Structure 1
Amino acid sequence: MTTPPPFTRVDVSFQSGDSTCSAWLYVPDGVVSPPVVILGHGLGATREMRLDAFAERFAAAGIAALAFTYRHFGDSGGQPRQLLSIKRQLADWDAAIAYVRTRPDLDGSRMAVWGSSFGGGHAITVAARHPELRAAVAQCPFTDGLASAVALGPVASLKTAPQIVRDLAAKVRGGAPAMIPLAAAPGSPALMNAPDALPGYQAISPPGSTFRNEVAARVALDILTYRPGRAAKTIAFPILFCVSNTDTVTPPAQTIRYARTAPRGEIKRYDAGHFDFYLGDPFEALIRDQLEFLTRQLAPTSATSAP
């Protein structure tokens, strides 16, 4: 007989700007007013791409978890589809925080943010903007657009230029966005074409996933100038950086330099690639460290009996 999980998952949505974000809320059973961690994914990814695996483990440890999908992606609202706006995604994080505070069954005074890859960069930015939070986790975080562009290589970057120009023209005309792959094979035009990028996305996309391997090309210019790592030095509360030693997308040396500027930063390093963090032994190592960190910062209680 299968033992039921020690938490309840419900489908929720919350208002963000002119539309809504779809999310899963995991509430630990029998825990009164649990602390909360908000989870956001990486570049173009949606919550069903293994955010549930992390959220389930947090909820089993007594920490409620809100895993959401950004506007314009997956089953969240927003038009046009596949538009990646850094400004709008950061607003989605703000909206998620505001939503948690409306929930009487959650303790909004004990809240953390958790982001992976591009979402890890957002988690740094959001943590700097919300000093009322208790903690943050930045997993294989995107910290510097210029450093990532250098890792991609100038030739590969130039290959994306025609699509960027077409998409910018479409934006001016009010037409449908011109798309570019998020991940592709080495040598192909894409935002990421490291050898492990396309297999990495495929490995974490379950059957029936809402993920689409494309995005409006205009975001490439915004990514180049986005440097969330610079905000690490302004984060006063604890933040955990989980860094891949062999990261092909977010260069680890630059990430470590930024992480060391965080006044209460903690750094964990792993001999696993950027896309390995979501599965198998690397996932188990990560979740063990993240649970230890979040338990220390959020002080969850064990399940209690009703009075």
Structure 2
Amino acid sequence: MIADSKPYTRHDVSFTSGDAGCAAWLYLPAGVRNPPVVILGHGLGAIREMRLDAFAERFAAAGIAAFAFTYRHFGDSGGQPRQLLSIKRQLADWDAAIAHIQGRDDVDGGRVAVWGSSFGGGHSITVAARHPELLAAVSQCPFTDGLASARALGVVASLRILPVVARDLAAKVRGADPVTVPLAGPPGTLALMNAPDALPGYQALIPPGESFVNAAAARVVPTIAMYRPGRSAKKVAMPILFCVSEHDTVTPPEQTLRYASSAPYGEIRTYEAGHFAFYLGEPFEQLVTDQLEFLTRHLQPL
């Protein structure tokens, strides 16, 4: 637990999802009884240590409890095999996180929001559409359309990855360890993201001394291509804030903005920063300020 003289305390928490446990941090605002909660989930293969704490700290300092978790199969969460990126399982992790928060007696389970970034930003749209009891949602530089992201990756790069997918699917049938592909790599290399800012952007989020595996089981590629969470925006029955990068090399902003405009209670903010710049420096300050205003308005912390 982190206490010191900070306006919050951070607690190490775990909750069960399916066949394993998810590791999480719960940030509780100091001196606030039954605060509202925002649940935070990260992007493609990322772990909560990669700057989710920065957002959580700011939310907690403003009186909103923050619950940042790592998906199964990654980081210090459980689940075998390792580095398995399953959309179905990650959405189940979100459901389990919400259920865990709703069952706690140190937060207000009736005032809950979800916050997702990148791939998690797509999940937050899907989750918000499935959970009308939520009061708000934040979708940051969201992955909204697998086909659009595949086009951004490029036809040649997409085709080059298919043999690796085939080898991993064969490994799955044999019960062998997954055949993996890098999450982020230099331009022209075989990776799920290979835009010029992808690898340095990912590396910039890893704290010194933190262990991070830049890989995911290749079998996820077809499901990513078919995942179009932006289509669920029109079904989101609560206020949802879309924070969109105007220069996004991973999740094309044009398609995201079209989906965002279909949300009945959607609010859209656009930023000059690129996809990976959202977590640091001035872009982070702009984002967290806008998000705090939005969450305070809809969660009404005391």
- Percent identical among aligned pairs is 74
The one-letter amino acid of 1:34's match is P
Q: Could you report, residue by residue, the CA deviation over 1:64-116 in whole angstroms, capped at 9, with x for unpaired residues?
A: 00000000000000000000000000000000000001111100100000000
Q: Tell me what 1:81 maps to.
A: 82
Q: Tell me what 2:105 maps to.
A: 104
How much has 1:161 moved relative to structure 2? 1.4
Q: Which runs of 5+ in 2 are unaligned?
A: none
How much has 1:250 moved relative to structure 2? 0.3
Q: Tell me what 2:55 maps to.
A: 54
Distance 1:91 1:222 in 2: 16
How much has 1:173 moved relative to structure 2? 1.1
Instruction: Say whether the 8 Å CA contact 1:277–1:286 is kept in structure 2.
Output: yes
Q: Tell me what 1:292 maps to.
A: 293
Q: Tell me what 2:181 maps to.
A: 180
Q: Tell me what 1:151 maps to.
A: 152
How much has 1:236 moved relative to structure 2? 1.2
The one-letter amino acid of 2:61's match is A
Instruction: Say whether the 8 Å CA contact 1:232–1:262 is kept in structure 2.
Output: yes
How much has 1:210 moved relative to structure 2? 3.4
Instruction: Say whether the 8 Å CA contact 1:75–1:210 is kept in structure 2.
Output: no
1:292 match: secondary structure: helix
How much has 1:151 moved relative to structure 2? 0.7
The one-letter amino acid of 1:92's match is D
How much has 1:144 moved relative to structure 2? 0.2
TM-score of the two chains, using structure 1 as the length reference:
0.97
How many residue pairs match? The answer is: 300
Q: Tell me what 1:26 maps to.
A: 27
Q: Tell me what 2:120 maps to.
A: 119
How much has 1:174 moved relative to structure 2? 1.1
Say if 2:132 is the partner of 1:131: yes
2:34 match: secondary structure: coil
How much has 1:208 moved relative to structure 2? 2.5
Q: Tell me what 2:252 maps to.
A: 251
Q: Could you report, residue by residue, the CA deviation over 1:255-295 in whole angstroms, capped at 9, with x for unpaired residues?
A: 00000000000000000000000000000000000000000
Say if 2:16 is the partner of 1:15: yes
How much has 1:209 moved relative to structure 2? 2.0
Task: State the Cα RMSD in Å.
Answer: 1.0
The one-letter amino acid of 1:147's match is A
The one-letter amino acid of 1:16's match is S
Instruction: Say whether the 8 Å CA contact 1:124–1:231 is kept in structure 2.
Output: yes
Q: Could you report, residue by residue, the CA deviation over 1:156-184 in whole angstroms, capped at 9, with x for unpaired residues?
A: 11121121111011011111100100000
Distance 2:148 2:109 in 1: 35
The one-letter amino acid of 1:196's match is D
Q: Tell me what 1:203 maps to.
A: 204
Distance 2:163 2:212 in 1: 24
Distance 1:282 1:169 in 2: 43
Distance 1:114 1:5 in 2: 23
How much has 1:213 moved relative to structure 2? 0.3
The one-letter amino acid of 2:171's match is A
Q: Tell me what 2:243 maps to.
A: 242
Distance 1:279 1:161 in 2: 34
The one-letter amino acid of 1:259's match is A
Q: Tell me what 1:305 maps to.
A: none
TM-score of the two chains, using structure 2 as the length reference:
0.98
Distance 2:219 2:230 in 1: 22
Say if 2:176 is the partner of 1:170: no
Distance 1:209 1:265 in 2: 36
Distance 1:12 1:176 in 2: 29
Distance 2:287 2:46 in 1: 19
Distance 2:263 2:236 in 1: 6
Distance 1:221 1:210 in 2: 28
Q: Which runs of 5+ in 1 are unaligned?
A: 302-307
1:276 match: secondary structure: helix
Say if 2:225 is the partner of 1:224: yes
Q: Which runs of 4+ in 1 moved over 4 A?
A: none
How much has 1:219 moved relative to structure 2? 0.4
